[in-house]
Amino acid sequence: MKNAISWFEIAVTDIERASKFYGSVLNVEIQRMDMETMKYAMFPYDNDNNGVGGGLVEMEGFKPSAEGPTLYLNGGDDLSDPLSRVEAAGGKIIMPKTDIGENGFMAQFIDTEGNRMALHSSK
């Protein structure tokens, strides 16, 4: 096993708002892939090489939460860049960029849907 995570899903209450938020913060295109019973949007990932991927899910039974597991999104080369866009995109930083020694840096925020999320980078 290369990674403990193979796919993740973030519960949202407004797929358009959440897609705009994550697209802005991470500076990526979030691709809509709605299905019959749910609204769905996917983060970019390397499917050809079994890369870890994930999406945003709006459907009955999926409820955003700041109290569950913390998902660390790739903050790129320097998480200061995406972190600087969190509040302008409608989120709230709850832990600023923090040095975690040889493991790099991390920060946490609340997204527009009420989920506690995090960013990680090597510098």
Say if residue 1's pLDDT is above 80. Answer: no
pLDDT tens-digit map of 3-28: 788 999 999 999 999 999 999 999 99
pLDDT tens-digit map of 29-83: 999 999 999 999 999 999 888 889 999 999 999 999 999 999 999 999 999 999 9
Class for the domain spanning 7-121 = alpha beta
Q: How far apart are CA 15 and CA 33, in angstroms?
A: 11
| Residue 100, C-beta contacts closer than 8 angstroms, at least 6 positions apart | 106
Q: How far apart are CA 97 and CA 102, in angstroms?
A: 15
Confidence of residue 89 (pLDDT cuts 50, 70, 90): very high
Could you tell me which residues are beta bridge partners of residue 64? none
Answer yes or no: pTM beyond 0.75.
yes
**Where do we find the tokens 């849907």?**
113
